[in-house]
Amino acid sequence: MKKLVAILMSVVLLLASFAFCVSAETEDPVLKFKEDGSFRIMQISDTHYTDQYNVIRPIGITLIEAMLDKYQPDLVVFTGDNIKGYFDLATPRTVIEAIDQLVSPVADREIPFAVIFGNHDYQSMVPEKQQMVFYNQYPTCLAETGYGYMTRHGNYNLTIKNSAGTKDIFNLWFADSGTEDISGNDAGIKEAQIKWYKKTSDAIAANNAGNPLPSLWFQHIPVKETLKLMTEVPEGTEGAKKDSNTGKYYVLNEGVEGTLHTIPSYGVKDAGIYDAWVAQGDVIGAFFGHDHTNDYQGITEDGILLAATKTAGFWSRNEGSRSGVRVIDLNENDITNVETKSVLFTDVYDGDFTYPKAEYDLDERVEDFFYHIILEIRMIVKSFKYYVSFLF
């Protein structure tokens, strides 16, 4: 009985600590182009940390470290499904452990980083807003809760200064594309988020002599307009992939780089963010995760670069060992020219790609049983709130 009480108290204390923890007051790093005019971003997506065995796969950390050391990014962007929240044992304790191990290679190298959420981050019993609080405990974290709408958190922007540090000359957008709707379809950007984007974009332009500030956009779930990089073909065409939403088949357009292993699981509930980019005239490139095995990149007829990024994880749809990251290079002397490439872990690491399994001990299993009860209650409330959001 005493053991049971102790476990229950640990649950309460852990949740309480999450509810009231406050970020340390530290000065945020300033993003600016280097003296040679360059600025490099590394996109890390779909790591899916925390699993049913409560073990952080060390190979994933090893490979992220290898990428960081080889490419020396000025900013790292985690673009969602950072944790594997859909397993029953994705508890506050395992979420904390997972985020810490995922972020530490970046934070230990004092590299600034940004974070957005994916559909699976939603499925943890730790709310996204509270996850953001934990990310912000790291001094180099630049992520913000930002503009929030219903269950959406993490809509914000970061500017990059010129090499002299005197003026903002580039902008980065980060948006929460949500999770599946009640029918199981992928969500997308809401109308309220588009209004926030337009208002903020206008304010940024006003501070730039009325001119749109060149920008990149990051969100987890792709926009439907990624189909602009593809051509509809008859069923049976070599290399053709089926769009499960429409039943149509597509191949990549000539000149589009990278691979298409599956039609993008685009947001069917998207309110038109792509059209907003075109209208505002600031977004010159948009980067997505979500589909794990895709890494195509191409420019639409509207002049916007659209790019998919592979999973950086090793336990969910990764073609064996073909996981990787995306590197994005900017230069202040050619500010609208975006150079990007997908890099596989096999390109930088020739070690063993296997990983160990681990077992829970009895105390951990009992403790997580009570976490699971709390999880079920929270998910019922959270699901109701989320589905109501589709009515507005």
Q: Which of 339, 340, 348 lies closest to 312 in space, CA to CA?
A: 348
Counted residue by residue, the chain has a size of 392
Tens-place pLDDT, residues 234-277: 999 999 999 998 999 999 999 999 999 999 999 887 889 999 99
Beta pairing, strands 297-299 & 305-308: antiparallel
Taken in order 388, 374, 101, 290, is the CA torsion positive or negative? negative
Which residue intervals of the chain are DSSP H helices? Answer: 2-20, 58-71, 92-108, 128-135, 191-206, 273-280, 362-389
Whether 381 has a pLDDT exceeding 70, the answer reads no
Contact partners, residue 24, CB within 8 Å, separation at least 6: 137, 139
**Average pLDDT along the chain:** 80
Whether 183 has a pLDDT exceeding 80, the answer reads no
Whose tokens are 């923890």? That residue is 21
Residue 88, CA distances (Å) to 119, 123, 153, 231 in order: 16, 9, 23, 40
pTM more than 0.85: no
Contact in structure between 81 and 265 (CB atoms under 8 Å):
no
Note the pLDDT of residue 102. Answer: 87
Contact in structure between 220 and 175 (CB atoms under 8 Å):
no
* 96 vs 367, residue with greater confidence: 96
Whose tokens are 């230990």? That residue is 108
Domains defined along the chain, listed by start? 39-389 (3.60.21.10)
Contact partners, residue 284, CB within 8 Å, separation at least 6: 214, 215, 216, 303, 304, 305, 336, 338
Q: Write out the E strands in 276-322.
A: 283-288, 297-299, 305-308
**Upper half-sphere CA count for residue 12 (Cβ side, 13 Å):** 6
Whose tokens are 């190979």? That residue is 59
Whether 165 has a pLDDT exceeding 50, the answer reads yes
Note the pLDDT of residue 251. Answer: 97
